[in-house]
Amino acid sequence: MSANSPAPSVRPLIAGNWKMHGLRAQLAEAQTVRDALTAGEISHGVDVMICPPATLIALMAEMAKGSRLAVGAQDCHWLPQGAHTGDISAEMLHDAGATAVIVGHSERRADHGELDRIVKAKAEAALRAGLTAIVCIGETAGQRRAGLTLDIIARQLVGSLPEAGTAADTIVAYEPVWAIGTGLTPTPAEVAEVHAFIRRALIDQYGTQGREMRILYGGSVKPSNAAELLAVPNVNGALVGGASLKAQDLLAIARACKVDAA
């Protein structure tokens, strides 16, 4: 099986990252997504998740209970507890109702100086707490111009992924930093090259599990470009930023996800 032919059991995931957006009133958007999923408007072969700010996790998890809408978190500390004012452990997120957590997002790496080893520790903490780790990787504009994209991706994969990850608890999200929130996106060919590289690296590290791990694309994903991006080989869904704040936009992206293209 080649890197361009991942196992057919890979289920697409559309995950919305609300970042530092959302008060209680924003839960109405999540309710709309939940109701659309319940009504069968999105294929049962596609998973949908929203990662709200920590203040809304418990409320959203309660609202989504018993539905197809999964609730994730945006970051965690690598320790289960301790004197770390302002931090939240993976165990706390699980207790609040989250089922997954994003780690290593470029905004965390840039704004908070998170190194690969920190991202790896957080990913392993997620697995320890029973959460799925969504591990983000991606190159800057300067790194791409210098032809270093695959070198950066390789380094981040080796340094950031959990040792004992499986297809059930580890997801990779490729987000070229220069495409996040800019409206710019790489071409389908550029996405295909990176995702095929990631697939080969996952197979090398995890064997059969690496064939079945989900690889999401993120970076200015929106309804107008979702179908083209989601049709790229080894793109098993999307990590959606700004477009996930509106239920109809997130649902439109989920509808563009063809299950047989996973």
Q: Which residue has the tokens 């989900």?
A: 214
User: What pTM does this model have?
Assistant: 0.95
106: its two tokens: 């470029």
Query: Quick one: pLDDT at residue 3?
Result: 58
Phi, psi for 219 (deg, rounded to 5): 130, 90
User: What is the C-alpha radius of gyration for the chain, rounded to an integer number of angstroms?
Assistant: 17
Extract the residue ranges of the chain whose pLDDT is less than 50.
1, 6-7, 261-262
Q: Which residue has the tokens 């320790």?
A: 79
Query: Quick one: pLDDT at residue 262?
Result: 35
- Mapped onto helix, strand or coil, the DSSP state of residue 106 is helix
Query: Quick one: pLDDT at residue 186?
Result: 92
Q: Which residue has the tokens 């990850």?
A: 165
Query: Quick one: pLDDT at residue 1?
Result: 44
Which residues are part of the catalytic machinery? 105, 175
CATH class of 13-261: alpha beta
Query: Quick one: pLDDT at residue 156?
Result: 98
Distances (CA, A) of 227 to 50, 230, 232, 235: 20, 5, 9, 11
**231: exposed, middle or buried (Cβ count in 10 Å: 0-12, 13-18, 19+):** middle
**42: exposed, middle or buried (Cβ count in 10 Å: 0-12, 13-18, 19+):** buried
Query: Quick one: pLDDT at residue 2?
Result: 56
Rounded distance between C-alpha atoms, residue 97 and residue 49, angstroms: 13
